[in-house]
Amino acid sequence: MIEEREEAGIAARFRGFLPVAVDVETGGFNAGTDALLEIAAVVIEMTPMGELRPGANFRYHVQPFHGSRMDPASLAVNGIDPHHPLRPAMPEKEALTQLFREIRKAVRDTRCTRAVLVGHNASFDLGFLNAAVARADIKRNPFHPFSSFDTATLGGVALGQTVLSRAVTAAGLSWDAGAAHSAIYDAERTASLFCTICNRFRFMYEDAVERAPDLAAPEVPANEPENDA
């Protein structure tokens, strides 16, 4: 049974969901009013031996939407100058369209049904993602609209640490304080933390597969047609 699921790849590991670590850098804490300034994503992949690891990554600088709020305190933390002339930012719709095209391809390639967001305090990242999707009127969002994997919760359960830097360090991974609050760095560290915890808990997953094989074998549908509209 375990060998069959490893052959099926990551599509069999999370009921057809493909985990994608996401981090957003913003102009504040309110997804409805505050600017989305940067978004990064790291696709989680599975090795032939069934181990999870970070895969392809994507990063986009985003132009503040019209009328958005940007708290100077938030900008001081993430170090973003939204109006810097050399900042390669693009409108929300363009950034999300490009990102979602890459995620949909990863979902198809792994024979998954949908992406699921992995985030540190995931509700924050998912809230800003969903708000931007609504503003841009994007119809094909590959992410599940409300389900997520929260590494703050996983870190608290597995390592006794809920702060990203502390959980990463407790897991035996490297942490560069100077690179923190960059969307791509935080997404990569979140992805590594998620993979490390899942791999260390793999024995529990394998026991569950043996104990309840019917529950552990979701039907994976055929890939959707190629369409990036």
pLDDT above 60: residue 132: yes
Residue in the structure block whose two tokens are 């055929």: 222
Give the pLDDT mean for 73-93. Answer: 96
pLDDT digits 0-9 by tens, 52-63: 999 999 999 999
- The residue with greater pLDDT, 141 or 214, is 141
Asked whether 138 and 165 are in contact (CB, 8 A), the reply is: no
- Phi/psi of residue 56, nearest 5 degrees: -60, 145
Strands 36-46 and 17-26, how do they pair? antiparallel
pLDDT band at 219 (very low <50, low <70, confident <90, very high): low
Q: What pLDDT is recorded for position 7?
A: 54
pLDDT above 80: residue 47: yes
Give the pLDDT mean for 102-116. Answer: 97
Q: Which of the residues are catalytic?
A: 181
pLDDT band at 213 (very low <50, low <70, confident <90, very high): confident
Number of other CB atoms surrounding residue 34 within 10 Å: 20
Domains and CATH numbers, the chain: 2-211 (3.30.420.10)
pLDDT above 70: residue 68: yes
| Runs of H (alpha helix) within the chain | 2-8, 72-78, 92-109, 122-136, 151-159, 164-170, 183-200, 202-211
What is the Cα–Cα distance from 32 to 206, expressed in whole angstroms? 41
Q: What pLDDT is recorded for position 61?
A: 98
Q: What pLDDT is recorded for position 225?
A: 41
Give the pLDDT mean for 139-161. Answer: 97
Asked whether 78 and 84 are in contact (CB, 8 A), the reply is: no
pTM for this structure? 0.91
Hey, which residues does 25 pair with through a beta bridge? 38
The tokens describing 105, both together, are 């391809």
